[in-house]
Amino acid sequence: MDNKAALRQLLRGKRSRLEPAAVGLRPRTGRGRRAPGLSQAQVAQLLYVSERTYAQLERGEMPAPAPGFLDRVCEVLRLEEGDRTALYVYALGYEPPRPQDPLAGQDIHGAWHEAVTSVSRPCYVNDVAWNVLACNEAFTATFPRAPGARPALPERNLMRYMLLRHTAREHHLLDWERQWARPLAAQLRKAVAQYPGNGDLRELDQEVEADPVAGPIYRSDPVTYVQPSGATRPVRFPWPGPAGPPAGAERCCAEHLPSRAGLVTMCAAVPLGSPGARFFILVFEPAPAAGGTGR
């Protein structure tokens, strides 16, 4: 089935399931057999366009329909997120730039909480504003902490921690300005533009812009958006082992456990049903110990 046929099947099927009364229209009258659901003329009426214009879309003959028009079609025909994605792909050849639901990506299915705890490597799920929705203890153990302290998130919002907190800048994230702050600032700028109605992102935008250290980078750095999946960056991982720190571990300061410098690679995926949210598994490669052969 080509895209035109798939588009025609999708739109015909959706309008056939909507009765005129459900969208505030009078039932069709007159002689002859009537197909169930809305007619093309009724859909066009609800879209405030001509019947010819809507029929052109349904036949797959409208060249490059505007995304705003496709979103109005989604509202009129009550398309769910998966159907909306299909509409974009069939009509334009690519997925929507943002979810239809402004709250999408801010929650996950409850099974994810159990899933992340079953993973041995550090992993977590964050929403579109970098709030942690679920994580395992191996992830909380990656943050600097005092000897004897239990692993814990320093705060729920990871972007706020990574860009604004002294511990992240000076003790945890190595080469902070070049390797972390610049790509993170680019990711935040893109998210703010992509989700203008998200209050958490608006708050982050204001806090980062006002910060004397991160603000100048956020406002002026030319780096464009960097995809986090597969990104490898330098970091320190604490060493909580009871047998004592391994060769190469050292203290970043007197307040924190010994840690090992190395590289962390962030492997990302998108939880189905939560567009905008991200599932991350962290793979840490320690730097070779001083005088050692490394791996």
Domains of the chain: 3-92 (1.10.260.40), 111-286 (3.30.450)
Q: Which of 195, 264, 182 is nearest to 226 (CA)?
A: 182
pLDDT for the residue 2: 75
Going by C-beta distance under 8 Å and a sequence separation of 6 or more, which residues neighbour residue 123? 116, 135, 136, 138, 139, 279, 280, 281, 282
Task: Report the 10 Å Cβ neighbour count for 31.
Answer: 5
Going by C-beta distance under 8 Å and a sequence separation of 6 or more, which residues neighbour residue 242? none
Phi first, then psi, for residue 129 (nearest 5°) are -105, 15
Phi first, then psi, for residue 231 (nearest 5°) are -65, 140
pLDDT for the residue 33: 47
Task: Report the 10 Å Cβ neighbour count for 203.
Answer: 13
Distance (Å, rounded) from C-alpha 132 to C-alpha 105?
11
Instruction: Using alpha carbons, list the distances in angstroms from residue 180 to 128, 138, 141.
Output: 18, 21, 20
Does the pTM surpass 0.75? The reply is: no
Distance (Å, rounded) from C-alpha 57 to C-alpha 35?
19
Instruction: Using alpha carbons, list the distances in angstroms from residue 161 to 22, 36, 127, 137, 258.
Output: 48, 55, 15, 18, 20
Q: How confident is the model at residue 242 (pLDDT cuts 50, 70, 90)?
A: very low
Report residue 174 CA to chain centroid gap: 24
What share of the chain has pLDDT > 90, as a percent? 39
**Tens digits of residue pLDDT in 44-54:** 999 999 999 99
Going by C-beta distance under 8 Å and a sequence separation of 6 or more, which residues neighbour residue 206? none
Distance (Å, rounded) from C-alpha 192 to C-alpha 196?
6
Instruction: Using alpha carbons, list the distances in angstroms from residue 78 to 68, 73, 75, 218, 274.
Output: 15, 8, 5, 39, 19
Please give the average per-residue pLDDT across 165-182, as a whole number.
94
The DSSP letter of residue 257 is -
**Tens digits of residue pLDDT in 202-212:** 999 999 999 99
pLDDT for the residue 157: 97
Query: To the nearest whole number, what is the mean pLDDT of the chain?
Result: 83
- 21 or 150, which is more confident: 150
Identity of the residue numbered 146: A
Q: How confident is the model at residue 293 (pLDDT cuts 50, 70, 90)?
A: very low
Q: How confident is the model at residue 268 (pLDDT cuts 50, 70, 90)?
A: confident
Assess whether pLDDT exceeds 90 at residue 224: no
pLDDT for the residue 294: 39
